[in-house]
A and B are shown apart, each in its own frame.
Chain A
Amino acid sequence: MSTRIFGSGIKRREDPRLITGEARYTDDIKLPGVLHMAVVRSPYAHANIVSIDSSAAEAMDGVVAVFSGEDVDLAGIPTAWLIPDSDLKTPEHPALAKGKVRYVGDGVAIVLADDRYTAQDAADAVNVEYEELPVVVDPEAAAQEGAPQLFDDVENNIAFRWVMGDKTASDGVFNTADVVVRDKIVQQRLLPTAMEPRSAMAQYNPATQELTLWCTSQNPHIHRFIISAVTGLNENKVRVIAPEVGGGFGSKIPCYPDEALVSWAAIKLGQPVKWTETRSENYQITIHGRDHIQYVEMAASRDGKLLGVRATVYAGMGGYLSTAAPGIPTILHGLLYVGPYMMDSVFCESIGVMTNATPTDAYRGAGRPEATFLLERMVDMVAKRIDMDPAELRRKNLIPAFEDGYEVATTLVYDSGDYPAAFEKALGIAGYDDFRREQAEARADGRYLGIGITAYTEMCGLGPSQVAGAVGFQGGLWESATVRVTPTGKVQALIGASPHGQGSETTLAQIIADELGFPVDDIEVIHGDTTETPMGWGTYGSRTTPVTGAALAKAAQKLKDKARTLAAHLMEANEDDIEYADGSFSVKGSPDQSQSIQDVALMAHLAWNMPEGMDPGFEESQFYDPPNFVYPFGTHIAIVEVDASTGDIELQRYIAVDDCGPQINPEIVAGQIHGGVVQGIAQALCEGVIYDDNGQLLTGTMMDYTMPRADMFPNFELGETVTPSPHHPIGVKGVGETGTIASTPTVYNAVLDALAPFGVEGIDMPMTSAKVWQAIQSAGS
């Protein structure tokens, strides 16, 4: 019998404040005398600014000030992932446009007013005269000679050209392979759509020269760093607080102009300044995800051995290079080209292109979903070409189980995996063989069922800092944590990461409770304030459980060592004779003698009777830099039915078998998978940004952009395997992005499998019923 809190799906410690409406998100916080900022935004995707007339706005009651780009003396918003060997250009990104706008939504001026409504009215009253310029939105078109140029110093709009692999060797493989399949894959733009729109509020104290910025951030320490850099304030005078944050999915990693502008205005005007985006603003200016045009090929032998993959990727960067943008379609993409398969040849050329569209950056999965999709699409195409069952083809090529390191052609060393186990388990749950029979019978009845399978692995738990440096990330990727025990035996765990929905206050408390024996309800996990918490690089890349969790586990282990020594001293026993169980230290052979962890904590604080050389107090800090990434993996399967008369797709079953190592809280793990799966399926079926040729965002509200809804989905069928990471102190791997990474190709391939009798070869995502119907008609003609 296990009484371990590790592995228990306990209720979340975050929830009482969230289910009662007591939680305070940024826009919920009020300061006396606060001014509201509204931003005058460009209605054109590409234009020169001829003049700005703010006189009417300034004359309005309640308007305090209007500023344009020429007034604002902030340094440019930096790009922080400078990928090497790519001839990377980082064009200037001013907080407010100077002379030229480059996408619809680009900020032109700011208005400060006494209330929200007045600020917006006044923003509407600022008269900006533009001279329109030619527009280019498509990243492949933008990279061609003669395309409209966004920047004088970015020739052909190409911000970088990144190459992975040996082209000559790759060409050799493709020239001699029995079978080569190819496709053009469009990874459409997606809107991250955290339910909480972005918000920022700044307050400046001129006497102390301290700036406090509350904002919707996944990484307040990075925000502090960047705000310090763009305002010129010393970093120790900037306090960034991420209060309750309502989801991020990557969109709250970047530092945007808006956070810098409220900071600048608060300093300039000596009053607190708040800005909260509307949803339409969110869709116009908060980063978008994906936007790849991929030309992909896979080589295989006639008997079903996968030999290699190669791709040319045009990655749309939008009007400016966002914080981490260059790293997404390159490092986080190409390095995943082997997936879970034994495949020796990889080649990727990724071209980052400036376009007259919203900047793109990390969106849940960030580069890895785009890689997994192309692999799984190609594998299904190979299966079809050589007339082999797609499950059989995958089975034949999966890397066999390994426990401690497997180097693949992309140079990554996967930490551990048992891909066949997860694969067979998923097929078992789905009843794969039975399904094929059922499918054949249904087809005979004119019903079109399809099944899609994705086997995946991905790298997360970002990541070793040395690797971050080698690939140009302008920061470290370690985390730090302090476990502080009060004299009465209550625990504060302070972390540098900044969770915003992941349940980390619960999961991380479970790690500490498991290591030290404190009841989980006596452990508070404190995060999201650069003054209160130790340094950390933030919550993204499925890294908080593996990286912060490791820091906490090691800090807790140090405390346990101290407690053991002190308990031995207090009980006048030899330390070797001390036994520990469930938060209590006892002497071997004398069970009546014991010291609880709380007793020891108190005595460490009192310090009346300490062993020689032991310092007082009961608190330990730990920096943790992971030696490698972690590589969760699994297999997902979808079963769909397509109504051939309407093109309507019904998702009948969805099976996800994932392996993230030992699960600390299985309910929280399941929640991450459910949410990730829905986001990925939504890319396949309903979500997609549409720009017109003028760069106008046609999907600018939730009325126009199709968010996934509850009635699109069945209950999910989850399974797991457990393969610990060999390099991790407690063996855990990240799970925040696996659902999104695996589910898009799973459902896509299922729909194409259903449509096989019609000869449909491909449908651009999202596969709306109209497109499916059209594909059936076209294929049949």
Chain B
Amino acid sequence: MQISVTVNGVVQERDVDPRTLLVHFLREELDLTGTKIGCDTSQCGACTVHLDGKALKSCTLLAAQADGTNVTTIEGLALDGEHHPMQTAFWENHGLQCGYCTPGMIMATTAFVEDNPGASEEAIRHNLEGNICRCTGYHNIVKAVKQVADAAAGGD
């Protein structure tokens, strides 16, 4: 079937097998391999992207369901060649190790902080329940997100 999805600002028109998952569409068809697959059952969040501004697990959605939407992946998060503040915060706070969960973590937490500036550490930890990291023990991820959340609250 024919779909049209705007991905990272570029309109992509493709003929896809109706059963194609959005994550496979992004990775295989558009070669946007920054979005990862970690569990196949929507637990780990490695495949998180923004769909019309909301964080969403791209393994739970068919590409066909994304027809007509606006998708941002990790590759499209940086603005004018500058890292998004969340990317910077993960780097500065050692919020990653193997990096595999990182794109999903960053996509999930950018959307979270946008909706929850000044979020508490407890709220951040609670919100991270849909994203699994095996390396960091979450400690420095929480620190990174808190830094951005605090800045977002202070900046208003």
Interface residues of B in 37-96 (CB under 8 A from A): 37-41, 43-44, 46, 73-75, 77-78, 83, 87, 90-92, 94, 96
Would you give the shortest CB distance from B54 to chain A, in whole angstroms? Answer: 19
The answer to whether B73 and A196 have CB atoms under 8 Å apart is no
Question: What is the CA–CA distance of A23 and B36 in the complex, to the nearest angstrom?
Answer: 11
Q: From B90, B91, B135, B140, give the contact of A501 (CB < 8 A).
A: B135
Question: What is the CA–CA distance of A371 and B45 in the complex, to the nearest angstrom?
Answer: 34
Given A11-B92, A715-B139, A246 and B100 contact (CB-CB distance below 8 Å)? yes
The answer to whether A116 and B24 have CB atoms under 8 Å apart is yes
The answer to whether B40 and A280 have CB atoms under 8 Å apart is yes
Q: What residues of A have a CB within 8 angstroms of the CB of B25 in the complex?
A: none
The answer to whether B38 and A195 have CB atoms under 8 Å apart is yes
Would you give the shortest CB distance from A27 to chain B, in whole angstroms? Answer: 8
The answer to whether A18 and B138 have CB atoms under 8 Å apart is no
The answer to whether A279 and B40 have CB atoms under 8 Å apart is yes
Q: What residues of A have a CB within 8 angstroms of the CB of B140 in the complex?
A: 670-671, 674
Question: What is the CA–CA distance of A9 and B77 in the complex, to the nearest angstrom?
Answer: 27
The answer to whether A196 and B128 have CB atoms under 8 Å apart is no
Question: What is the CA–CA distance of A23 and B106 in the complex, to the nearest angstrom?
Answer: 15
Would you give the shortest CB distance from B72 to chain A, in whole angstroms? Answer: 11
Would you give the shortest CB distance from A775 to chain B, in whole angstroms? Answer: 27
Question: What is the CA–CA distance of A429 and B98 in the complex, to the nearest angstrom?
Answer: 31
Would you give the shortest CB distance from A278 to chain B, in whole angstroms? Answer: 5
The answer to whether A20 and B78 have CB atoms under 8 Å apart is yes
The answer to whether A30 and B96 have CB atoms under 8 Å apart is no
Q: What residues of B have a CB within 8 angstroms of the CB of A503 in the complex?
A: 97
Q: What residues of A have a CB within 8 angstroms of the CB of B74 in the complex?
A: 20-21
Residue of A15, A249, A674 ringed by the most chain B CB atoms within 10 A: A15
The answer to whether B134 and A21 have CB atoms under 8 Å apart is no
Interface residues of B in 2-54 (CB under 8 A from A): 17, 19-20, 24, 27-28, 31-41, 43-44, 46
Question: What is the CA–CA distance of A30 and B27 in the complex, to the nearest angstrom?
Answer: 10
Q: From A195, A280, A710, give the contact of B125 (CB < 8 A).
A: A710
Q: From B33, B98, B122, give the contact of A21 (CB < 8 A).
A: B33
Q: What residues of A have a CB within 8 angstroms of the CB of B121 in the complex?
A: 715
Is A545 in the interface zone, CB < 8 Å from B?
no
Is A24 in the interface zone, CB < 8 Å from B?
yes
A interface residue count range (under 10 / 10 to 19 / 20 to 34 / 35 or more):
35 or more
Residue of B36, B73, B100, B126 ringed by the most chain A CB atoms within 10 A: B100
Would you give the shortest CB distance from B53 to chain A, in whole angstroms? Answer: 19
Would you give the shortest CB distance from A427 to chain B, in whole angstroms? Answer: 22
Q: What residues of B have a CB within 8 angstroms of the CB of A20 in the complex?
A: 34, 74-75, 77-78, 83, 87
Question: What is the CA–CA distance of A675 and B140 in the complex, to the nearest angstrom?
Answer: 10
Would you give the shortest CB distance from B131 to chain A, in whole angstroms? Answer: 8
Q: What residues of B have a CB within 8 angstroms of the CB of A24 in the complex?
A: 33
The answer to whether B94 and A670 have CB atoms under 8 Å apart is yes
Interface residues of A in 1-37 (CB under 8 A from B): 9, 11-12, 14-25, 27-28, 30
Is B133 in the interface zone, CB < 8 Å from A?
yes
Residue of A23, A30, A701 ringed by the most chain B CB atoms within 10 A: A23
The answer to whether B39 and A247 have CB atoms under 8 Å apart is no
Q: What residues of B have a CB within 8 angstroms of the CB of A670 in the complex?
A: 94, 139-140
Q: What residues of A have a CB within 8 angstroms of the CB of B149 in the complex?
A: none
Q: What residues of B have a CB within 8 angstroms of the CB of A17 in the complex?
A: 99
- Number of A-B residue pairs having CB atoms within 8 Å of each other in the complex: 176
B interface residue count range (under 10 / 10 to 19 / 20 to 34 / 35 or more):
35 or more
Is A197 in the interface zone, CB < 8 Å from B?
yes
Q: What residues of B have a CB within 8 angstroms of the CB of A247 in the complex?
A: 97-98, 100, 134-135
The answer to whether A246 and B99 have CB atoms under 8 Å apart is yes
Question: What is the CA–CA distance of A739 and B44 in the complex, to the nearest angstrom?
Answer: 23
Question: What is the CA–CA distance of A196 and B103 in the complex, to the nearest angstrom?
Answer: 13
Q: What residues of B have a CB within 8 angstroms of the CB of A12 in the complex?
A: 91, 94, 96
The answer to whether A678 and B138 have CB atoms under 8 Å apart is yes
Which secondary structure dominates chain A's binding surface?
loop
Is B141 in the interface zone, CB < 8 Å from A?
yes
Is B142 in the interface zone, CB < 8 Å from A?
yes
Interface residues of A in 266-321 (CB under 8 A from B): 278-280
Given A30-B31, A195-B132, A701 and B40 contact (CB-CB distance below 8 Å)? yes
Q: What residues of B have a CB within 8 angstroms of the CB of A758 in the complex?
A: none
Q: What residues of B have a CB within 8 angstroms of the CB of A9 in the complex?
A: 94
Is A571 in the interface zone, CB < 8 Å from B?
no
The answer to whether B91 and A15 have CB atoms under 8 Å apart is yes
The answer to whether A709 and B99 have CB atoms under 8 Å apart is no
Question: What is the CA–CA distance of A713 and B122 in the complex, to the nearest angstrom?
Answer: 10
Is A366 in the interface zone, CB < 8 Å from B?
no
Q: From A193, A667, A671, give the contact of B134 (CB < 8 A).
A: A193
Residues 690-728 of chain A, each 1 if its beta carbon lies under 8 Å from chain B, else 0:
000000000001110001011101011000000000000
Question: What is the CA–CA distance of A502 and B135 in the complex, to the nearest angstrom?
Answer: 9
Question: What is the CA–CA distance of A9 and B94 in the complex, to the nearest angstrom?
Answer: 9
Q: From A16, A676, A701, give the contact of B39 (CB < 8 A).
A: A701
Question: What is the CA–CA distance of A225 and B27 in the complex, to the nearest angstrom?
Answer: 32
Would you give the shortest CB distance from B112 to chain A, in whole angstroms? Answer: 12
Given A25-B100, A117-B19, A246-B100, A702 and B34 contact (CB-CB distance below 8 Å)? no
Question: What is the CA–CA distance of A701 and B132 in the complex, to the nearest angstrom?
Answer: 13
Is A66 in the interface zone, CB < 8 Å from B?
no
Would you give the shortest CB distance from A16 to chain B, in whole angstroms? Answer: 7
Given A194-B98, A501-B135, A21 and B75 contact (CB-CB distance below 8 Å)? yes
Enumerate 16 A-B pairs (CB-CB under 8 Å) in ascending A order. A18-B96, A21-B75, A21-B103, A25-B36, A27-B37, A116-B28, A195-B134, A247-B98, A501-B97, A671-B136, A674-B136, A707-B44, A707-B134, A710-B128, A710-B141, A715-B139
B contacts, CB < 8 Å to A: 17, 19-20, 24, 27-28, 31-41, 43-44, 46, 73-75, 77-78, 83, 87, 90-92, 94, 96-103, 106, 121-122, 124-126, 128-129, 131-142
A contacts, CB < 8 Å to B: 9, 11-12, 14-25, 27-28, 30, 116-117, 193-197, 244-247, 249, 278-280, 500-503, 667-668, 670-671, 674-679, 701-703, 707, 709-711, 713, 715-716, 739
Query: What would 17 more interface pairs be, CB under 8 Å, given A21-B103, A671-B135, A707-B134?
Result: A12-B91, A12-B94, A18-B102, A20-B34, A22-B75, A195-B38, A195-B46, A196-B100, A197-B38, A278-B40, A674-B136, A674-B137, A709-B128, A710-B128, A710-B129, A711-B129, A713-B139
Q: Which 5 A-B pairs have the closest CB atoms?
A: A21-B34, A501-B98, A246-B100, A18-B99, A674-B137
